[in-house]
Amino acid sequence: MSDKIQPSHLERTALVYVRQSSLQQVRDHTEGKRQQYALVDRSRALGFQETVLIDEDQGRSGSGQQERPGFGRLLASVCQGSVGAVFALEASRLARNNRDWHHLVDLCAMTDTLIIDVEGVYDARQLNDRLLLGLKGTMSEFELGLLRQRARQAFEQKVQRGHALWELPVGFVRTEDHRIEKTPDLEVQQAVTGVFKKFLELGSARQSTLWYWDEELLLPQIVPGTAGHEIVWRRPSGHRVNQILKNPCYAGAFAYGRTATQTVVREGRARQGNRRRKPQAQWKVLIFDSHPGYICWDDYLRNQKMLEENAARGWGGGRRGAVKRGPALLTGLLRCGRCGRPLHVNYSGNTGRVPRYVCTGSRRERGSAGCLSAGALRLDEAVAAEVLAAIQPVGIEAALQAEEQLTQHNDQKRTSLTLALERAHFEARRAQRQYDAVDPERRLVADELERRWNEALEGVAKLESRIAALDTGVKELTDETRASLHELGADLTTAWHHPDTDIRLRKRILRTVLKEIVLNNVDDPPAHHLHLHWQGGVHTQLRVPRNARGKHANAADADVLELVRELSKVAEDKQIAAILNRLGYKTGQGKSWHAHRVASLRSYHRLPSYHKRADWVTLEGAAGRLGVSNTVVSRLIKAGILPAKQVVRYAPWIIEVADLDLPVVLAEAKAVRSGRKLPQQPLGQQEIPL
């Protein structure tokens, strides 16, 4: 026994630390595991009365990037001073990074704890032993780094040749000489090709996914660990469709290093963060035409551009966003001519479907009102007319392509169902063979195989019925239908405004020919100025008249506004509303009047209310000021002695207060008050019943 082991050490606990770096080592390297567990017997042979085994870290690396609860427990026990020695097969078992290793050595030196391995006993308080322990820790870390470096260099050398160890995406298989080929399964090939065709047709990964769900079509998926030879068919998810569209392997290219992880420090340890996609220029390896692909590289780049523009969160950075069902045609095309930001769409109105283009740049930056806003109706009509005039010459060609696309759509669906039916027939025949081969007396097995056979036959019947329904529903285009289609092609305006034309199709047409539209508003005269940037690089200008302030389809008539202006001199809002309704006037929205609507009209046009007017009175007010009856005032008005006016029938007389001080008016009023008899005069107006 070494003279470094003192009785004070034997009185304390001995810790035996057992660790292997991976689960594969734990499963296969059993001899090393036995040697480590045998250290318990060695500690007892050296005289330690109590030995504690720590093996919680089996399958965990000692590089410092993984949490090791067993090692943390070991450090806590050493800190308490209750440990006499730490046993390990070799230093690398305790730690393969200098941070953990030197921390342990420092703690052992402070608490007089020995470190024992198969080569000897080390006292961290002695300089020679501490130097040797430091070298062991450094060599252990260097050894791990060297092994990783060699393995990485060999792996990247293989990658540079276009070979790799990971599994290929669905639709490909790897040959014995490590070449990549298309799967020989025609159904899988057709399904993968259909994803790219449908995305090109709809322009959206989400819409493509929804189409597969609506048509009840399945997509293939590889069973992990089968090298692409075992396939299952499932309904696609949006993530699955995006994986197919974004993988450069389908373009015949071998790519490596498309993603990278960021190392972050959490709780004092280096952790691997989430993987992030890198730009194409930063990919480590990109080999074109490495194997047969389903699309060409130009198509792949076009798809990535469409996916990037469809990202809703990135539209504020210049991306258009995906085409949606909203009625605003110019969504994603308009840009503010004042601040350069993209315009957003707000919906309002009673139905919530009235679009308006709004720039919110100033509101976000300075907290003030937005730069500009514009109604969508006139802008959409003007831009659509301009685009239709530009693409009218290719209308016939578009009609022919629409006819061809309809035929291809039906053929694609029928091909998918036909291949699926062939696979279902194969599954049914295999289930039948399994059922025929079983011993009839083994009822448990026979019943299960019979159930599988019945399920396979039900799948065959379902696919046959779907194909029959497809053949019944799809009708060949007659000569009359083709002639109508060509007429619509010659007259794109009619086709554009046809009720069956999908709004998303109109938006895709606009985005195909237009790159962006810069909008600015001018006030003299009121108009929208549009700068159309076409895809070919040509720029054109378009001027669209706009309403002046308060001039819109729902604005009140000028006669109503003038009438309210006059009536507000002597009448309250409730009285004005009664007069307007009696005369048959309506609001701009075709509704009847009430006090609140009259007040809103006055507020919008900045008309003062009756209570704020002291220079006008009604007939009753004039009679009260003069101290006479209403009949006397009516006679004075009819005789032309007292100036007054009645703007419309049933409206009250409007009399200026200053006219009540005229000498002739005062004389007539004084004569009436003194008792002089006046001739009777008929009333010059009709009173409004209350």
Residues belonging to the active site: 21
Pairing of strands 526-534, 539-545: antiparallel
How far apart CA 408 and CA 474 sit, in angstroms, is 12
Q: 515 vs 318, 530, 553, CA distance in Å?
A: 11, 13, 32
Give SS3 for 275.
strand
Closest CA to 243 of 202, 277, 286: 277
199, amino acid identity: F
Environment class of residue 73 by beta-carbon count within 10 Å: exposed (0-12), middle (13-18) or buried (19+)?
Answer: middle
Give Cβ neighbours of residue 683 (< 8 Å, ≥ 6 apart).
631, 634
| Region of residue 267 (left: phi > 0; alpha: psi -120 to 50; beta: else) | left
Element (H, E) at 669: helix 663-673
Buried b (16+ CB within 10 A) or exposed e, 234-254: eebeeebbbebbebbbbbbbb
Half-sphere exposure for 286 (CA within 13 Å, toward CB): 12
How far apart CA 82 and CA 667 sit, in angstroms, is 123
Element (H, E) at 87: strand 83-87
- Asked if residue 309 lies in contact with residue 320, where contact means CB atoms within 8 angstroms, the answer is yes
Return the CA Rg of the chain: 44
Backbone phi, psi, residue 3, to 5°: -70, -5
Our CA dihedral for 673, 677, 678, 679, rounded to 10 degrees, sits at 160
Tell me how far apart the terminal alpha carbons of the chain are, to the nearest angstrom.
122
| Tokens (6 digits) for 43 | 């500690």
What are residue 492's DSSP bridge partners? Answer: none
Closest CA to 245 of 275, 187, 190, 203: 203
What sign does the dihedral 159-160-163-169 (CA atoms) show?
positive
Element (H, E) at 445: helix 443-473
